[in-house]
């Protein structure tokens, strides 16, 4: 029996109790349940790196605006389905200030988080053109989005971009898009789970392919401006958040309040539909709805049917946060840089004890330090590593749940507490010693 920080027998029993045929396929919720149960049973502190939940306080400017809106009576009134005019204007201005692209206020639509934004975007894009009924995932990606596809009964295809960064991306995209069945493609940038950032060249390739095959790009900016290698937090000044919008008009951007403003609890974000796409009609939409354009169907048919708009007070909060950021009075990027500092320390500890960073490069440049990073251990599959680390009180999710073909884990920095760096080091020392005796 191994000498591990979490009692070996207890951990074995608890894990087996979940009856998972492949531990690497455990969902985030299952990993949370197992680690919490073990923590309670064995009274051993866990280093939780499985959940992608913001670990910082919500932006004050948002909370104050929301309280004010509630006190002024926002709660009793249905919000305008198009979105609060102030929010639409401020979203358009924020996009100009930090991405340097022009999206009219009309196309900036509040949603109950990017979760709803992607759901509605998948749904509408899949209804536009008969025969274009499949969503392409540029993976690794956020597992819940595939769940959305399953809920809708849609089809998807996917590939791991690890093997085809740079120029190679064109050939791979060509092979998928040329079949003619792809309605839209999605990726997150910075990437959840791997934290790589697609380069300008890669975004240009995606944009050009979208134009060539008339495919809609859903660009998920859940980690807006969080490529901390660049100073992206100065409004109306370069450098700007990278985007495919510089290379195509066929885009929908998802901008979330959850991570950039630590506002996840209020479920608020904005879908920004390009001016051209907003006004474009499609045969499939006309047939199904009797008329409408991508933008009007998105809002007046789909969002109306899904939730009849977005929480009224949260819209005031997001409007205030966008405004303060664009005015330069709220440096939201500095606030979230804490995740980058944590990642740098954690990555050093893991690599000191023999781990590797799985997705480590953006072509020739090392990836940024941020919300997530990926780790592997020589000779171990992601599933084995995930299970093994449980015995050391370290929980993370396997990359196999994210559409990645690589062996390793996604680690999230958001729940790390100051005293846990020393704890991690202590645990990994034992891990390494135990591996050496294997």
Ligand X SMILES: Cc1ncc(COP(=O)(O)O)c(C=O)c1O
**Contact set with ligand X (CB under 6 A):** 52, 113-115, 142, 188, 192, 220, 222, 256, 258, 264, 269
| Between 359 and 431, CB nearer to ligand X | 359
| Between 4 and 271, CB nearer to ligand X | 271
> DSSP readout, 178-211?
TTS-EEEEEEESSPTTT-----HHHHHHHHHHHH
| Between 41 and 264, CB nearer to ligand X | 264
- From CA 26, how far away is CA 417, in angstroms rounded? 25
The CB-of-269 to ligand X minimum distance in angstroms stands at 4
| Between 136 and 285, CB nearer to ligand X | 136
- From CA 316, how far away is CA 69, in angstroms rounded? 7
Dihedral pair phi/psi, residue 218, rounded to 5°: -100, 105
| Between 410 and 427, CB nearer to ligand X | 410
| Between 79 and 113, CB nearer to ligand X | 113
| Between 6 and 368, CB nearer to ligand X | 368
Query: What tokens appear for 386 in the block?
Result: 């995930």
The CB-of-189 to ligand X minimum distance in angstroms stands at 9
- From CA 48, how far away is CA 71, in angstroms rounded? 37
CB 201, CB 362: distance < 8 Å: no
| Between 114 and 407, CB nearer to ligand X | 114
Question: What is the four-CA torsion angle of 80, 85, 91, 92, rounded to 10 degrees?
Answer: 120
The CB-of-234 to ligand X minimum distance in angstroms stands at 24
- From CA 104, how far away is CA 90, in angstroms rounded? 10
The CB-of-370 to ligand X minimum distance in angstroms stands at 11
The CB-of-66 to ligand X minimum distance in angstroms stands at 16
Angle between helices 85-99 and 312-327 (to 10 degrees): 40
Among the listed residues 255, 245, 263, the one whose alpha carbon sits nearest the alpha carbon of residue 188: 255
| Between 263 and 377, CB nearer to ligand X | 263
| Between 66 and 220, CB nearer to ligand X | 220
Residues 6+ apart with CB under 8 A from 84: 110, 312, 315, 316, 319
The CB-of-428 to ligand X minimum distance in angstroms stands at 26
The CB-of-137 to ligand X minimum distance in angstroms stands at 11
In the complex, which residue's CB is closest to ligand X? 113
Identify the sign of the CA torsion 189, 105, 250, 122.
Answer: positive
82 three-state secondary structure = coil
> DSSP readout, 253-288?
EEEEHHHHSS-GGG--EEEEE-HHHHT---HHHHHH
The CB-of-277 to ligand X minimum distance in angstroms stands at 20
The CB-of-380 to ligand X minimum distance in angstroms stands at 25
The CB-of-222 to ligand X minimum distance in angstroms stands at 4
Among the listed residues 329, 143, 117, 340, the one whose alpha carbon sits nearest the alpha carbon of residue 226: 340
Among the listed residues 147, 183, 177, 180, the one whose alpha carbon sits nearest the alpha carbon of residue 159: 177
| Between 115 and 182, CB nearer to ligand X | 115
The CB-of-49 to ligand X minimum distance in angstroms stands at 14
Query: What tokens appear for 56 in the block?
Result: 């910082």
| Between 115 and 320, CB nearer to ligand X | 115
Residues of the chain by 3-state class (helix, strand, coil), percent to 5: 50, 15, 35
The CB-of-224 to ligand X minimum distance in angstroms stands at 10
Q: Distances from the Cα of 429 to the Cαs of 350, 376, 424, 434, in angstroms?
A: 10, 16, 8, 9
305 three-state secondary structure = helix
């Amino acid at each position: 029996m191994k000498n591990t920080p979490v009692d070996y027998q207890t951990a074995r029993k608890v894990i087996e109790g979940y009856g998972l045929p492949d531990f690497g396929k455990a969902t985030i919720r299952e990993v949370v349940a197992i680690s919490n149960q073990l923590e309670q049973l064995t009274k051993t502190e866990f280093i939780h790196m499985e959940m992608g939940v913001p670990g910082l306080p919500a932006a004050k400017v948002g909370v104050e605006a929301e309280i004010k809106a509630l006190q002024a009576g926002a709660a009793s009134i249905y919000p305008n389905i198009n979105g609060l005019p102030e929010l639409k204007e401020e979203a358009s201005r924020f996009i100009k200030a930090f991405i340097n692209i022009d999206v009219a206020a009309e196309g900036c639509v509040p949603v109950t988080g990017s979760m709803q934004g992607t759901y509605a975007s998948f749904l509408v894009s899949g209804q536009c053109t008969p025969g274009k009924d499949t969503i392409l995932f540029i993976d690794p990606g956020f597992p819940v989005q595939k769940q959305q596809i399953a809920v809708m009964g849609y089809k998807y295809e996917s590939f791991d971009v690890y093997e085809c960064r740079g120029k190679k991306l064109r050939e791979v995209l060509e092979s998928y898009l040329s079949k003619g069945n792809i309605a839209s493609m999605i990726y997150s940038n910075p990437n959840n789970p791997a934290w790589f950032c697609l380069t300008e060249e890669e975004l240009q390739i995606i944009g050009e392919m979208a134009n060539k095959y008339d495919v809609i790009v859903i660009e998920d900016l859940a980690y807006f401006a969080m490529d901390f290698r660049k100073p992206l937090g100065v409004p109306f000044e370069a450098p700007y958040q990278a985007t495919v919008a510089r290379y195509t008009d066929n885009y929908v951007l998802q901008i979330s309040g959850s991570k950039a403003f630590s506002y996840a609890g209020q479920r608020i974000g904005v879908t920004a539909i390009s001016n051209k796409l907003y006004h474009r009609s499609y045969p499939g939409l006309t047939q199904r709805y009797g008329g409408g354009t991508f933008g009007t169907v998105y809002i007046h048919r789909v969002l109306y049917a899904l939730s009849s708009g977005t929480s009224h007070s949260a819209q005031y909060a997001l409007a205030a946060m966008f405004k303060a950021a664009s005015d330069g009075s709220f440096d939201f990027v500095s606030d979230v840089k804490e995740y980058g500092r944590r990642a740098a320390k954690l990555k050093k500890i893991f690599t000191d004890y023999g781990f590797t960073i799985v997705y480590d490069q953006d072509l020739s440049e090392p990836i940024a330090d941020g919300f997530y990073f990926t780790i592997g251990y020589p000779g171990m599959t992601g599933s084995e590593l995930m299970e093994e680390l449980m015995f050391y009180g370290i929980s993370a999710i396997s990359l196999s749940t994210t559409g990645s073909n690589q062996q390793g884990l996604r680690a999230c920095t958001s729940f790390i507490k100051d005293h846990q760096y020393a704890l991690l080091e202590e645990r990994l020392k034992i891990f390494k010693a135990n591996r050496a005796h294997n």
